Amino acid sequence: MLLEVTNLDSGYGFLQILRSVSLSIDEGEYVCIVGPNGAGKSTTLKSIAGLVTPSNGEILFKGEPIGGLPGNKVARKGISYISESLNLFTNMSVQENLYMGAYTIKDRKLQNDQLEFVYELFPRLEERKNQLAGTMSGGERKMLAIARGLMSNPTLLLVDEPSFGLAPQLTENVFASLDILKQGGMTILLVEQNIHKTLAVTDRGYVLENGKIEIEGKSSDLADDPHVKKVFLGV
């Protein structure tokens, strides 16, 4: 197992969001967490990424405990978190943002290799490399956030709501680029509201409700599950 989360309790201050969440991801898998608003999907990702400190439970990454480490140390272990609000450096150019993504890589040549790789994946970013990140459109910013997350050459990509605030066409583009990454062997943990699309592209899924994992299984099985159908699809 690449990532193993066992009995994770987490939340903000006195507010407990996650109750004994357990999940695991193998190398090369494309896994999703779906669930209604406020179920704790983002909190799960943030707890893994070290932006929220878990109060209980264990997070193992490549067999090493990473629960409770600050975000910068988690990032150095090879986990890239792409947040819902993107957290771009808005007053830096696209290229500078990308180089910041490779902050943990000291070797200039490796940095440039990664840069070439993400420019190949998102040619749009190369056209705009000198533009300030804050002046780009929503879709381009999303691409930049994903590209910046890839710059550190991560083993595990945590993606939070990539379709949030995007037009349907742009959402397709983002999903397509995640597919390409998956083909290339990247391990991805995806959190999404767009359940149709998500269950269609991922291998395996977890359904999170009120901070607990309710159902887990193959994405195709989940899509046929009567409970999921009733709660999310309204049929």
Token pair of 95 as six digits: 């290229």
Does 103 bind other proteins (CB under 8 A)? Our answer is yes
Task: Pick between residue 146 and residue 223 the one whose CB is nearest to other proteins.
Answer: 146
For the chain, state the CA radius of gyration: 17
Task: Pick between residue 111 and residue 219 the one whose CB is nearest to other proteins.
Answer: 111
Does 81 bind other proteins (CB under 8 A)? Our answer is yes
For other proteins, the binding residue among 7, 20, 56, 72 (CB under 8 A) is 72
Determine how many CB atoms are found less than 10 A away from the CB of residue 221: 14
Q: What type of residue sits at position 229?
A: K
Q: 122: which residues sit within 8 A by CB, 6+ positions away?
A: 143, 144, 146, 147, 177
Does 112 bind other proteins (CB under 8 A)? Our answer is no
Does 215 bind other proteins (CB under 8 A)? Our answer is no
For other proteins, the binding residue among 36, 68, 71, 139 (CB under 8 A) is 71
Give the distance, in angstroms, between the CA of residue 3 and the centroid of all CA atoms in the same chain. 13
Task: Pick between residue 102 and residue 201 the one whose CB is nearest to other proteins.
Answer: 102
Task: Pick between residue 77 and residue 124 the one whose CB is nearest to other proteins.
Answer: 77
Does 51 bind other proteins (CB under 8 A)? Our answer is yes
For other proteins, the binding residue among 99, 122, 175, 232 (CB under 8 A) is 99
Q: How far apart are CA 134 and CA 161, in angstroms?
A: 20
Task: Pick between residue 81 and residue 206 the one whose CB is nearest to other proteins.
Answer: 81
Write out the DSSP string of 185-232.
T-EEEEEES-HHHHHHH-SEEEEEETTEEEEEEEHHHHHH-HHHIIII
Does 76 bind other proteins (CB under 8 A)? Our answer is yes
Does 142 bind other proteins (CB under 8 A)? Our answer is no
Q: 110: which residues sit within 8 A by CB, 6+ positions away?
A: 102, 153
Question: Shortest CA distance to 29 belongs to which of 224, 228, 218, 223?
Answer: 218
Residue pointed to by tokens 């607990």? 212
Does 132 bind other proteins (CB under 8 A)? Our answer is no
Binding footprint of other proteins on the chain (CB under 8 A): 49-51, 70-72, 75-76, 80-81, 83, 86-92, 96, 99-101, 103-104, 148-149, 151-152
